[in-house]
Chains A and B, each alone.
Chain A
Amino acid sequence: MKTRIGWASFVMLVMAVLILVGSARLRAADQPAGAEVKIDNFSFGPQTVTVPVGATVTWTNRDDIPHTVVSTDGVFKSKVRDTDEKFSYTFTKAGTYPYFCSVHPKMTGKVVVQ
């Protein structure tokens, strides 16, 4: 009895691991590597990021002052991001996406999706 439960548990564990690994692989295949943009000293760094279609770009505000991430062409628009707050956007179409901080419009950047 004990052995049977133990065996069943082991099989279930192995299956669970296989499923997790498989889905992780699937996710990795579906979602290309994203990119990180840091906001420091009133600038986006790197100012231009190039990512594949389907990638998610994440911006992190590391300034003492709030900023926003707003697409110049109206494609995406973050809420105001205070210190250490993040904003992410997933790019599903190839193209060039210029953006800026609507609070400090001198701050500009670009996402190139290939």
Chain B
Amino acid sequence: MTDKKNGFIGEKLQNLNKDGIDRRGFLECMAWVGTGLVWTVSGGIPVSRAFAAGHDRSVTKGGELSFVQISDSHMGFNKPANPDVAATLQAAVDKINGLAMPPEFLLHTGDISHLSKPEQFDNVDQILKGAKAKDVFFVPGEHDVLDDDGKSYRERYAKNSQGDGWYSFDKKGVHFIGLVNVMNLKAGGLGTLGGEQLEWMEKDVKHLKSSTPIVVFAHIPLWSVYPEWGWGTQDSEQALSYLKKFGSVTVLNGHIHQIMQKVEGNVTFHSAMSTAFPQPAPGKADSPGPMKVPAEQLRSVLGISDVNYVQGQHSLAVVDSTLG
């Protein structure tokens, strides 16, 4: 089954390479994988790999930076899709700590908690303290800003941020931009960045050289994955327009609890899996709610994803295989 799945995905990717970007193609090009991704920036080219995979040092040879993205830990969720989300987050941390090449820091792309409760944040903080990488950079998911407009989230995770919690930082020549697209959502709409944040972002990147590798991370996809389920951000085009001059742009998100990737010109979009539960492929269920799998299969629907993006070649390579 795994081989078949890989074959299917490989085929889809070949089609993508042949035909360019095709919406149906990239929607189909996905798999349930892993509990985290390791990103390595090597000469401005971000490369993602699964953490269960043997770490191939040749890929990172000469690379300066390695980090891990985790997402959607949903601490406090206890329904049948995963009655123990603390255990699977712990498993993710164990994976990270077992990496041959330790990441310098972690990115958490939101939905840290399920209901924004202090004890849920506490629980995640406690588990993440077990990671060898001490720095964790967060952006909020909609589950982290319930009822108090994100006040408690910002006090805990985004003290030195702007506005609703956006910020940027530099690591070894790579410029990281953490965006908030889960606040002030309007009826019938998608994720929203808002004018103030967009203005900030435009100024933030203005002074950077076009050779600077850019990593943007946010919770809701910054590309139109499936608007019918709210899987997109209505003003993301505006944000991306500020990044046109850069040769290497990588956009990371969570929210949809599944791997998806799209390459558009100089921009690679990548959506990470959850550490808590999978969600259905776009349109493949009545709603985007948690997808229930038999308990013994929960970790076997997790897997690994190696992604290589070569700047300027418009080609991507993804190898997916299951973990368990």
Q: Tell me which residues from 50 to 85 in chain A have a Cβ below 8 Å from any Cβ of chain B.
A: 63-66, 68, 72, 79-80, 82-83
A-B contact pairs, 15 of them (CB 8 A): A41-B287, A42-B287, A63-B289, A64-B79, A64-B289, A68-B146, A79-B147, A80-B146, A100-B187, A102-B185, A103-B185, A105-B186, A105-B189, A106-B228, A108-B188
Prevailing SS type, chain A contact patch: loop
The 10 closest A-B pairs by CB, nearest first: A100-B187, A41-B287, A42-B287, A105-B185, A80-B146, A41-B286, A106-B230, A64-B79, A72-B187, A103-B142
User: B229: which A residues are within 8 A, CB to CB?
Assistant: 42, 106
Instruction: Mark B residues whose CB is within 8 Å of A.
Output: 77, 79, 81, 114-116, 142-143, 146-147, 185-190, 228-230, 286-290
User: B287: which A residues are within 8 A, CB to CB?
Assistant: 41-43, 63
Work out how many contacts link A and B, with CB atoms closer than 8 A.
56
What class of interface size applies to chain A in its complex with B? 20 to 34
B146 and A65 form a contact (CB under 8 A)? no
A25 in the interface, Cβ–Cβ < 8 Å? no
User: B147: which A residues are within 8 A, CB to CB?
Assistant: 79-80
Complex Cα gap A80–B142 (Å): 11
Which residue of the partner chain, among A63, A66, A100, contacts B188 with CB atoms under 8 Å? A100
Prevailing SS type, chain B contact patch: loop
The chain A residue sitting closest to B142, CB to CB, is: A103
Complex Cα gap A106–B287 (Å): 11
